[in-house]
Structure formats: structure tokens, C-alpha cells
Structure 1
Amino acid sequence: MSGTQQDFDKLRDEVVRTASSVMDPCSLATSQPRDLGEMGLIEEAHVSSTGDVTIDIVLTDPTCWFFADITQAIENAVRPLPGVRNVVVQQSEHLMWTPDRLTYRPLPLVKLGPGSPGLRRADPQDSGVPGPTAENPPAKEQGETRGL
């Protein structure tokens, strides 16, 4: 890759943006989807004059079971960018993840069932299971009785 410093900076910014948009597998598993950027996991990216890219990430746990999955997803997202020849993802050896790395993103609005006042913010503690509707009434509590 030949170009000016501005070209390298532009490619580096695109690499960071693209890597940041990869979804965090742990957040998906807990039905609270966040991308790597929102989780604060992308530390920095380096782009060489030959198009070799190295991306340093900070994991929420140094023994993260998803490191290989995250690495593969980042490589698959970044490699197709014009000017990128090779991608290496490595875990930062000098930084530990802390909750202050999170960026705020409002939870999506969800439509409530019939007769509801409208929209509400999704509950971050929500299990992802839809709430009761006319077709799916709430389950009875143990010992609860209903009159006819």
C-alpha cells in the first residue's frame, strides 16, 4: 500500500470502525447485544505501509473463552477493506478491561401488547422472552385462582 499519512490514518480509522462494529458474543449470549466498540474492547489498530493490520483488544476477562471467535470475526470483517493485506488480532498485554470502558447506548424501544400505553425502553434485565399478550396470557402464579 502506498499513500500519504492521511491515507494511513483514514484506513486505520476505518479498521477501528469496522472492528468496533463486530458483536460481542457474551452480550449476544445474555440477550443484551453490544458491539466491541460499545464494550470498549478495541484498544488500537496499527497499519503498516504494506497493508498489514494489527489490532489490540482488551478482553473483559483474560481467560475469555470467546477470544478465538472474536479474533476470527474481527479478521473476517477487516480483511475485505481496500488496502488491507493481512490482519492480526492480539490481546493487550498491559491493559485490563474495566466497566468505565463501556459506552452508553440507549436500549431499543419495544412495542407493548394490546391496550398498552405505547412504547417503552427495553429492560436490560429482560430475558428476551416476549411478555404476555391476548394470545399468550400470563402464567398463573402457584396458588393463584381466578374467578369466572
Structure 2
Amino acid sequence: MTITEATVRATLNEILDPCSITAGVPAGLDDMGLLTDIRIQDDIEVDGGGRRVAVTVGVTEPSCVLIGSFANEAHTRLAALPGVSAVDVTLADDFDWTPDRLAPHYQRRLAEHRAQVRRALPLLAVTATGPARER
């Protein structure tokens, strides 16, 4: 297996952002726009070769308490890839996430989901309180 940026992005995109799960439209770290830097280079210190992978990961909110678990999971998944000899995961300390960082296909999925929820709101209100009564 050749380790490429696309391989790294796909692997880390399997790690779901809990806020996206709560929103009802699960998305991985790449779709959320949380990967800020990816570097892949040959590992000359390893006999027979290997690739060193370095990634920088951010969060949607500076107060996110899950950043450590993101970093640990990213390290575990990348280290398990065939041909990877070393992994360095850095937490972005100057990262300001904004919704425009979302992948375009995820932005569409999220917008469709929100539109469906908005359309269902009047139905949910009637179901929760019963039919409106005349006064």
C-alpha cells in the first residue's frame, strides 16, 4: 500500500466528530475540515524503508475536551497502515475553525438534514401537544 495524502485523509475521516453525530449528520475529521497539515516522507532511519506521517488536527471549539482522544485515535489508525514506520500527531494551537472549512459534500448533506428537520418541526409540535384548539 502506498501512503499518500489521500490515504491519510481517508483513514482519519473514519474518526467521527461527536458534534456532527449530535447534529444528526455524522462526519469524519477530514469532512469537518479539522486536518490542517499532512506531511509524508520517507523514513531513512528504518531498514527496508517506511513512511513517516505527520498530521496536525484541530477542533471546532477551543474548549473541546475530546481533542486528546482525536489525537490518540489518529495515531493508532495511522500507525496501523502498512508501510507507516512513524506517526506524529500535533494538536493545532492556533486553529480557528469556521463552517466554511466543511467539505462541500458534507455542507450539502448538513443543509439537507437541517431542511428536513425544519419541515418536520410543525408536525412535531402538533404531535407533542395535540392538535391546536380554537379559543
Shorter-chain TM band: 0.5 to 0.7
Give the deviation of 1:144 after TM superposition.
5.1
Distance (whole Å) between structure 2 residues aligned to residue 140 and residue 62 of structure 1? 36
Normalising by structure 1, what TM-score?
A: 0.61
Which residue does the alignment assign to 1:90? 90
Which residue does the alignment assign to 1:116? none
Alignment length, in residue pairs? 119
Normalized per residue, which structure has more helix?
2
Distance (whole Å) between structure 1 residues aligned to residue 57 and residue 13 of structure 2? 10
* RMSD between aligned residues: 3.3
Q: Summarize the Cα distance change of 1:140–1:63 in structure 2 as closer, same or farther, 3 Å threshold.
A: closer
Distance (whole Å) between structure 1 residues aligned to residue 129 and residue 93 of structure 2? 51
Which of structure 1's runs of 4+ aligned residues deviate more than 4 A? 142-145
Aligned counterparts, 1:1-148, within 5 A: 11-13=3-5, 14-50=7-43, 51-105=51-105, 106-107=108-109, 122-123=113-114, 126=117, 139=127, 141=129
Q: Secondary structure at the match of 2:38?
A: strand
Give the deviation of 1:39 after TM superposition.
0.9
Distance (whole Å) between structure 2 residues aligned to residue 29 and residue 35 of structure 1? 13
Distance (whole Å) between structure 2 residues aligned to residue 98 and residue 140 of structure 1? 34
- Structure 1 unaligned blocks of 5 or more: 1-6, 109-120, 127-131, 133-137
Q: Which has the higher contact order (CA 8 A, sep 6+)?
A: 2
Distance (whole Å) between structure 1 residues aligned to residue 15 and residue 113 of structure 2? 22
Are the equivalent residues in 2 in contact too, given 1:44–1:55 (CA < 8 A)?
yes
Distance (whole Å) between structure 1 residues aligned to residue 89 and residue 128 of structure 2? 50
Q: Considering only CA atoms, is the larger Rg found in Structure 1 or Structure 2?
A: 1
Are the equivalent residues in 1 in contact too, given 2:71–2:91 (CA < 8 A)?
no
- Structure 2 unaligned blocks of 5 or more: 44-50, 118-122
